[in-house]
């Protein structure tokens, strides 16, 4: 079973007033990067409320 795992941090980037930037999710993408994972990352890249911080590849899945 392949799937995309997202780890979402509960904090945002500080804004000019020292508070947290609203509505921006910090995301780490981890997957085996089969076609389903590639499509999910392409979708996330297009979302303005998502900030991809890192992409990791599992070595035991479709991509080695």
Supply the pTM of this predicted model. 0.59
Q: What does the pLDDT look like over 8-59, one tens digit per residue?
A: 444 455 556 555 556 899 999 999 888 889 999 999 999 999 999 999 988 8
User: Is residue 62 in a domain?
Assistant: no
User: Is residue 37 in a domain?
Assistant: yes
**43 Cβ contact list (under 8 Å, min separation 6):** none
User: Is residue 14 in a domain?
Assistant: no
CB 32 within 8 A of CB 64: no
Which domain, by its residues, includes 43? Answer: 5-9+22-57
How many folded domains does the chain comprise?
A: 1
């Amino acid at each position: 079973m392949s799937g995309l795992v997202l780890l979402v941090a509960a904090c945002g980037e500080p804004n000019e007033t020292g508070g947290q930037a609203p509505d921006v999710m910090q995301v780490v993408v981890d997957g085996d990067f089969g076609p389903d994972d590639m499509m999910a990352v392409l979708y996330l890249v297009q979302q303005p409320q998502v900030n991809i911080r890192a992409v990791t590849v599992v070595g035991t899945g479709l991509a080695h």
